[in-house]
Structure formats: C-alpha cells, structure tokens
Structure 1
Amino acid sequence: MTKQVHLAAHFPGVNNTTVWSDPASGSQIEFSSFVHFAQTAERGKFDFLFLAEGLRLREQNGAIYDLDVVGRPDTFTVLAALGAVTDRLGLTGTINSTFNEPFEVARQFASLDHLTAGRAAWNVVTSWDAFTGENFRRGGFLPQDQRYERARTFLQTTWELFDSWRGDEIAADQESGVFLRDPHPGAFAHSDAHFDIAGQFPVPRSPQGRPVVFQAGDSEEGREFAASSADAIFSRHGTKEAGQAFYRDVKGRLGRYGRTPDQLLILPAATFVVGDTDAEAAELAHEIRRQQVSGQTALRFIEQVWNRDLSAYDPDGPLPDVDPLVGETHVAQGRAQVRMYRDPLATARQWRELAAEKGYSIRELMTEVQSRQSFVGSPQTVAAEIDDLVQSDASDGFILVPHLVPGGLDPFVDRVVPLLQERGVFRADYEGTTLREHLGLAPLP
C-alpha cells in the first residue's frame, strides 16, 4: 500500500541553520515574516507549521550566545495571530512541561483550538538545566527520569481538564419554545507528587477535543513517552538505515499501550537545497554550509565539546591539542545540544581522526559535522528521495527547515510539492479542516 507523505514547516531560528548574511534573510520577529512563511506552507498544503521555543537566552563563556535568535515572541500569541491569516494549516507550538502549569497550558491550547477551528498542536518538551530554571520561581531542575514523569503527569492532567466539559445538551426553554444549548462544565481534581489542583475548567471542549500532541526526544525515556502518549514524534535520524531502525523501535513500543502503528507518526526534521540540476544544488549546498558555519560559529561549536574558551584558536587552523574538560560546569548554558555529547573525550577523539584523515581545519570539520543538508538536488531528485524514505518506513514524512526566512520555503513548495502530487503521494488539496484530519489520526471520542 502506497503511503501518503506528511510535510510540515519549521520556522527556523533556534539553531545556526539560518544564513543571516544572505540579503534575502528577513526579520525573525516581525509578524510579516511569520505570515509569509505560514501562507507559503498552506499554499503547499502542508500539515502544519512548527515553532520552537527557548525559555532563556543562551550563553557561552559568560556572554549571550549571539549566533542564534536572541529574541522570539510568545508562541501562543504568534500562533493565534497566524490562525487569523490561514484557513487549514495546523499550528504547532513547543510548550515546556517542566516550568509551566497544567491549568494555564490547557486553557491556552483549548482557546487556540477554538480560535483556529481545530488546528492546534502541542510539542511537549522538558527542560534539563538549572540555568533555564533560574527564570522561574521553582528554579532548579529535575533529573531526567523525573522530568519525563512530570511530563507524563502534566499531560495526563491537561487531558483531564480538556475532558472535564461533558459536551452540550439540548434543552427546551418552556416559555419561548426555543431549543437552547446547555453546556456542562465539569469539576476537576487532580493530586499527585507534582500537582495538587481542583476547580472548574473555563473553556468548552474544543473542535479536536484536545490538541494534537508531539514529542521530541531520542532518549529511552523520550521514546517511551512518545509511544505512550504522543500523536507524532520528531526525530533527528538523517540516514535511511538509522531512520528505519528508529521507526521500528518506536512503533514497536505502541502495542504495550494498546495502540496501533497508525496512531503515531514519525517525522524527522530535514533541511533542503533545490537547484535546477543535482550539480547546481550540490554547489549551492556547499556555499550555504560555509555561510552557516563562520569562523566564529565554528569556535563556538567546538567549545561545546571541549568545554573551554577556544577564542584564541584560529578557526582555519588545526584542532586544539588539549583534551576537553569533563565536569558538571560547562562553558555553554541553555543549549540542549551540549547534552548530545555525552562522552566529550570520545567525540574529540573521533573528530581528531576525521580531521587527520581529511586534512580539515576547525571550521571545515564543524561544517562537516554540523551543517549537512538532508535533501540536496534537483526537484525530481528531492521528490524521489522523500518518497523513497517514506515508502521504506524510514519516516512518515518530514518537518522541513529552510535556511532563510521568510522566503526559504518557497522553492520547495513551488518545485518539489507538484512532483510529489504527480506521484500520488501528497494531497492536491486539504480534505479536512482539523489537524487531526490532515495527519490521518482518528477523531477523539
């Protein structure tokens, strides 16, 4: 059976993907950028737009990490505003479960789902560091197992709030004879190790019942959380073989929760470069990677593994001859990427071997390991690769991350989407109105 490809668009910024030096690079905060991006995604019949979010400005060597966006408007505000300038596009926001509270998040998402006629989605994430926690009254942080336990409880609590409204019952007004809807908000009460709340939820049941739930995390705890509770999971696996292994692993966990494989979508993030020919695209991709990893950026990246101030090193020179510092304190704060390098000494050893083999400088090495595009080629090549990965169960689709905003998505929508439609693997138009329908998920009872 031929699978349908799912496509979404990530508004970039909380990374080094964006090429700031390009004349076409626009504002990351002006509403016009969000409007252009969202309307392009909707023109391409994408499932949804995705916003990431950080709860504190990142720092490195005690200074603001200025290679990322250093400002981003509130997620709910942006998504609600985009709901007014789009009709079908799903709107997904990253909202933290470590430092927020269930009642507030449930009310905001229920409101967003009403305002957008059923297009809201929640990417549930956790925070791992005390640095971010300093922005909040509780402060501190939770160990990984407790973070995911809080996330599971947080999600269950919000579901109780969403479901507390018992629907509308039809009642007749005896004097006028007019039939009136009689909503029945229900009381809620939830008490556990993390939350002790009770009251009445003020927002009626929304068009989707509750937002579509996304999860991003590749750890054992993250995979299990997705299998138990999520409708879709983001992944970072860039090769066919790694994607297939992840796909089998996560979908294989669903049965223990009474779920079937079609109840969870696997959607890796993917960058792209489209050219008239494969050769032209490869040349353009090389130039984009060099723009994404400047000399300064390269030093900041390698510092995250070495855990040292390496600003005195020449980015066009050899790798540091000293080893990484291993310890609890780190030169980079607020960057989840630091957590990727669980064994910095082993990473440094691998990078030195690769640099020696290829003759790489620091910048050349960082360009190689940090900024490789997922899809590079002519429109025909990119469409064929995407189709192959989906049909071979390496993914159910992709969340596309362009290197420019607001116009970076346009080449894909204009040149690749029509070819996927010709292949019969991507919709020619929206068939439903809610995000659950776009994703092929069954309606909630």
Structure 2
Amino acid sequence: MSGKRVHLAAHFPGVNNTTVWTDPRSRSQIDFASFEHLARTAERGRFDFFFLAEGLRLREHKGRIHDLDVVGRPESLTVLSALAAVTDRLGLAGTVNATFNEPYELARRLSTLDHLSEGRAAWNVVTTSDAFTGENFRRGGYLDHADRYTRAAEFVGLARALWDSWAPGETPRRHAVRPGAIGTVRHSGRHFTVEGRFTLPRSPQGRPVIIQAGDSDSGREFAAETADVIFSRHGSLTDGKAFYTDVKRRLQRYGREPDELKIMPAATFALGDTDEEAAERAAEIRRQQVGPQTAIAFVEQVWGRDLSDHDPDGPLPDLEVGEGVTQGRVPIGDRAAVAAKWRALAEEKHLSIRELVIEVTGRQTFVGTPESVAGQIDQHVQQDAADGFVLVPHLTPGGLDEFVDRVVPLLQERGVFRTEYTGRTLRDHLGIGGPR
C-alpha cells in the first residue's frame, strides 16, 4: 500500500436519531435479515469489523419510552454468534457493559464467539453509573461515577487472565488435556474475587479484541492501558489530530507502541454526483433525522421541562432550566450552561428550535462526490487524525451499499485499503498482532 492503511468498520445504529426510519427504504431494526444484510455488505467491502451497540434499559422521556430507542433489539452477542455463520472474515464487535456483568461469565461468552467465528470477536467495553439503568439489576445503582473505570480495568484484567490461562496451542482431545495445560486463576481485588479454571482454550487470535469509547481523561488513560481500538467521537481533522496525539502519547507509559492501538472515530457520509448535490442530500438527511418531535425532545432534555406546547419552527423557550424529564441517557452535564450556549447560538444565527438542534447535534462527517469522500478519509488517516472510521449509515440495512460500491474502490485505487483479506482474524485485519 502506498500510504498508511485505512481501517473501516460498520456500525448498526439503534439508540439515537441517526437512522431515518421514515424513509421507505428503511427496514426492520430487529429482524435478523437486517443485521445479515449490513454485515454481508461490510464484508463485501473488506471492512475490518461489524459493530453493534447495546443498551441495558429502554430510556424514558417524560415518563414514556423514548421515541429514539429501538424497542425489541435482540442481545448483541447472540446476534453476532448468528452472523459468524453467514460471514467468513468480517470481525464481529459487541458492546457489553462492564458494570452490570461478571468477568467469568462474560469472558466465557466472548471466548465462545471468538471460537465460533475462528478468531473474529471484539468486546466494546462500556461502563455506567446510572442508577436508572441499575434498577434492572440486583445491585441497582450501587456504583459511584468515580469507580466506573476502576471496576472496568479490574474486569478486563481478570477476563484476560482467564483467556490466557490455557497453554498456547492446547486444545482438548477426547475431553482431556495434558497435565498443567490449564492454569488456575486466583484473583482477589476490590470488585471481584475469583478462583478457578477457565472452560475454553485460547481462540485462534489469542483473545478477543478490546474496544473502548470513553473520552474523559480517565477514559483515555483506560484505553491507553487496555484497548486495541478506540471508538472516538473526534471526527473533524483538527479535533482528530489533537485526540490522536494525546492518546498515542499515553501509550508509552504502558510500554506500548503507537500501532498497537487503532483510533477509529464514528463517521457519517452523504454522497452525490457533484459536491452541490451531496450538500443538498446531507441537508435533507439532517432534516429527516431531526423532525419536529425530535427537535422538541432534544430541547426538553436540556431544559428539563415539558415543551410540547412550543413550535419546533419557533424560538427557544424563554424559561429557566428545570429538574429534568429524561432517564437513561448519558448526562448532559451543566444543563444551564448548555442552555445558555444554545440560546446565544440561536440568537446569533436566528435559528428556530429545529434549526438549532440540527446545528448542534452534528453533521455528516464526509460530504461530497465519491472521489472527494475517498480523499477526505485518506487525508484524515495520512495526517494522523485517525487510523480509520466506524461508518454509521443513516439507512438500515442498505445505507452502507452505496459507500461500498462507490467509495471503497477509490480507496483501493489509492493503495490505502485492502482489495482482499490477507488474514483470518480480526487482529490480522487491524494489524495489531497477537496479545502480549
């Protein structure tokens, strides 16, 4: 390849307003056929992996199920195990919470996926201190916010100890293994006490790939110490460079090389035969993603009040911030400060509620002709703003097809993206080698 290799992954969205459900081309978010279509498209495009997000409780807004959630989404590792049977090389990544699971059981489930897929499994490690989500679990909201990453770090370390407890190359034959092939894991820490032997041998890639998405200082440090991939939100060239430099710099204190951690921001795209057509399409997608009801819901989350009597095409509410009407979402932080910032922006640009929400909730990362988008992606990677991108299409399940058909061949022509898989495991695709 002529430059740094571009890494690509495909995200199947669900708990946000990325997906345009009203488009006639949009299909089911829960039928297996939808997952299969998107995964097969990603594999046809020679992507590194297919990525599933997951929530542990349906969010609520004003006491009702939040309209931006998918109701009925199957459990991620079960879906990925089924996808292992209909794909051959594509990595399979699932989001699983380290706060409301136990290391031995989750390590076993992830190792099972890694074996079923012949070394293509990945775990996106997430945490939560949200008591609302915790009500679905025996311990409830017991975990303080400051303890999220201490538990997650101990969890990941223990899972790795279990995965590494079998001797390399050892597999059971006739229900027996040679003496000493399986080590006993003994661990007594702040959050977990475990003593026993793991039931599964090492997988073809040694152990599952670890993905992490935290952006706080502690989250970045956790990723630098433990992650193989960061699912970042820093998709612009300037922000991407700053994030890339910061996280790669942190690797040194853990004895790691820069190539051992891949930084892959989430990215959206809008294509057109001309740049003008692509811009028009991007604007229309944004208006579909932020309809009148969605616009009001976003402002209600910040203002903490029922604003259903307000016109989405009218001005922001002239009200103080209330106590809150949404449960289960990532906390906004200082809502009063956010409200003040939004109000100043709306006044400066003369924006209605809906126009403001479109302005502040993000835009398509890459907009233009296929040639332009391929060039933008290559630029980000060559200039160290990212190692690649996790693409989030706005249509399910066919939204990735156009990108694979029109942009991937151009990246291949540039010599920065594979034309065929050269390895079998996800670690092979990412170029990160086996675990230490």
The bucket for the TM-score relative to the shorter chain is over 0.9
Find the partner of 2:391 among 386, 396, 400. Answer: 400
Question: d(CA) in 1 for partners of 2:173 and 2:137?
Answer: 49
1:29-178 aligned within 5 A: 29-168=30-169
Cross-structure match for 2:321: 324
Contact 1:303 1:331 in 2 (8 A): yes
1:68-109 Cα shifts (integer Å, max 9, x gaps): 212210111100000000000000000100010000110001
1:184-226 Cα shifts (integer Å, max 9, x gaps): 2222221111011212211111111110000001101100000
Question: d(CA) in 1 for partners of 2:65 and 2:254?
Answer: 43
Cross-structure match for 1:247: 244
Cross-structure match for 1:420: 411
Question: d(CA) in 2 for partners of 1:307 and 1:284?
Answer: 33
Cross-structure match for 1:214: 211
Question: d(CA) in 2 for partners of 1:295 and 1:73?
Answer: 29
Q: Using the TM superposition, give the Cα deviation of residue 147 of structure 1 relative to its aligned residue in structure 2, in angstroms.
A: 0.7
Question: d(CA) in 1 for partners of 2:379 and 2:362?
Answer: 23
Alignment partner of 1:253: what SS?
A: helix
Cross-structure match for 2:426: 435
Contact 2:171 2:201 in 1 (8 A): no
Question: d(CA) in 2 for partners of 1:221 and 1:106?
Answer: 23
Cross-structure match for 1:176: none
Contact 2:170 2:201 in 1 (8 A): no
- Segments of structure 2 that go 5 or more residues without pairing to the other structure are none
Evaluate the alpha carbon distance shift between residue 242 and residue 371 of structure 1 in structure 2; reply closer, same or farther with a 3 A threshold: closer
Contact 1:168 1:181 in 2 (8 A): no
Question: d(CA) in 1 for partners of 2:32 and 2:349?
Answer: 44
Evaluate the alpha carbon distance shift between residue 26 and residue 310 of structure 1 in structure 2; reply closer, same or farther with a 3 A threshold: same
Q: Using the TM superposition, give the Cα deviation of residue 444 of structure 1 relative to its aligned residue in structure 2, in angstroms.
A: 2.5
Cross-structure match for 1:231: 228
Q: Using the TM superposition, give the Cα deviation of residue 351 of structure 1 relative to its aligned residue in structure 2, in angstroms.
A: 1.2
- AA matched with 2:329: R
Cross-structure match for 2:13: 12
Q: Using the TM superposition, give the Cα deviation of residue 172 of structure 1 relative to its aligned residue in structure 2, in angstroms.
A: 12
Question: d(CA) in 1 for partners of 2:172 and 2:204?
Answer: 21
Give the superposed CA RMSD.
Answer: 1.7
TM-score (norm 2): 0.96
Contact 1:127 1:141 in 2 (8 A): no
Q: Using the TM superposition, give the Cα deviation of residue 239 of structure 1 relative to its aligned residue in structure 2, in angstroms.
A: 1.7
Question: d(CA) in 1 for partners of 2:232 and 2:256?
Answer: 20
1:310-338 Cα shifts (integer Å, max 9, x gaps): 1111111100111223x6xx3111112xx
Evaluate the alpha carbon distance shift between residue 12 and residue 169 of structure 1 in structure 2; reply closer, same or farther with a 3 A threshold: closer
Is 1:357 the counterpart of 2:348? The answer is: yes
Paired-residue identity, %: 65
Q: Using the TM superposition, give the Cα deviation of residue 235 of structure 1 relative to its aligned residue in structure 2, in angstroms.
A: 1.0
Alignment partner of 2:398: what SS?
A: coil
Q: Using the TM superposition, give the Cα deviation of residue 181 of structure 1 relative to its aligned residue in structure 2, in angstroms.
A: 6.6
Cross-structure match for 1:370: 361
Question: d(CA) in 2 for partners of 1:313 and 1:49?
Answer: 40
Alignment partner of 1:93: what SS?
A: strand
Alignment partner of 2:321: what SS?
A: coil
Contact 2:129 2:141 in 1 (8 A): no
- AA matched with 1:247: Y
Question: d(CA) in 2 for partners of 1:432 and 1:211?
Answer: 15
Alignment partner of 2:196: what SS?
A: strand
- AA matched with 2:44: R
The alignment covers a number of residue pairs equal to 433
The structure 1 segments of at least 4 consecutive aligned residues displaced by more than 6 Å after TM superposition are 170-173
